[in-house]
Structure 1
Amino acid sequence: MNVYRARPNSIPWPPLLLVLFGAAAIAAFAALPLPLVFHLSRLLGAVLILAGLAVDFWAMRSLQQAHTTILPHRGSNHLVTEGPFRFSRNPIYVANLLLLAGIGLATGNGWFIVVMPFDALAMHYLAVLREERHLLAQFGYRYENYCRKVRRWI
């Protein structure tokens, strides 16, 4: 295996992107408010936040039980296909998007919804594609077979 694929990234992009786009939404709201006000938006936001956190913790627990890294910039030593990884190859990243949507709805800050697709695109190009190359190099046919069975996002 070459050094490039020994680990997918040198920077843990997904958590950094979550914080970056969250901060951008807060700053944008301070400069130009984009309020989200509709009946039950706070409740829906709370539900999305709880769902995002639940998926995050479930995925991290699955990775921990498989004795592989939770950090997105470290190399994987086990292919995890259990827990939420049965439904999505990137459940933590899906959870991050749920968190952005939930925070936006719970706080009434529409900028969180606006930045969501940009976060998804940045995660896709800076993390997901690199992680997929790493996992293909690391696990070969097993990973290809997993990709045929489970969607990338949802």
Structure 2
Amino acid sequence: MSASDGRTDGNGGDPRGGPRETAGVVAPPPVIFSVPLLLGLLANRRLGLGFVPEGLRKPVGFPLLAGGLGLGLWFFREMRAADTPVDPYRPVSRLVTSGPFRYTRNPAYLALLANYLGVSVLKNSLPPLLLLPLVLYAMNRGVVEREEAYLREKFGEEYEAYLAQVPRWL
């Protein structure tokens, strides 16, 4: 099996050590965020573990949610303008460094994080926050590190220069 026939070693690379076709992420990032969020919200229905004073739920939760949605839309717009796929299971065509990518290498994941926090605050649900370290670990190890290795391999010095200028998160 070779990378040219679409099969990989599970990490996006050719099983014999050839170039990667994709980053080989462990799961779609929206799934990594949404499953623990939903499980935490369901757990909270039984446990009732609130953490936000009633008067702060909306003033904190809605800006987080709006910021996450706005950042996510900005991310999609830049990816579309660059004519490169958003799907981590498809090969990227170019390195995007404009728009939100000028400030963070992972605007989509920051958007998902803001949405996760916004929903948790609005629902006054502590269990999703208790699951958040696992979500961030899964994202870092199973998505971000794999994407960075893929982009480093694909874009070389151009990506190295970008890494030196833009932080991973903020």
Larger radius of gyration: 2
Q: Deviations over 1:10-43 (max 9, x none)?
A: 6543111112111121122123221123122222
Which has the larger helix fraction? Answer: 1
Provide TM-score, normalisation by structure 1.
0.92
**2: distance between equivalents of 1:51 and 1:90?**
15
The count of aligned residue pairs is 153
**1: distance between equivalents of 2:90 and 2:100?**
20
- Specify the alignment match of 2:75 in structure 1: 59
**1: distance between equivalents of 2:131 and 2:49?**
12
After superposition, the CA RMSD in angstroms is 1.5
Unmatched segments (≥5 aa) in structure 2 = 4-12, 14-19
**2: distance between equivalents of 1:143 and 1:113?**
33
Unmatched segments (≥5 aa) in structure 1 = none
Provide TM-score, normalisation by structure 2.
0.84
- Residues 79 and 96, structure 2, Cα contact 8 Å, conserved in 1: yes
- Residues 135 and 143, structure 1, Cα contact 8 Å, conserved in 2: yes
- Specify the alignment match of 2:121 in structure 1: 105
Q: Deviations over 1:115-143 (max 9, x none)?
A: 22221111111110111111011100000
**2: distance between equivalents of 1:35 and 1:10?**
33
Q: CA deviation at 1:81?
A: 0.3
Counting aligned pairs with the same residue, the percent is: 31
> Is 2:55 the counterpart of 1:29?
no
- Residues 14 and 127, structure 1, Cα contact 8 Å, conserved in 2: yes
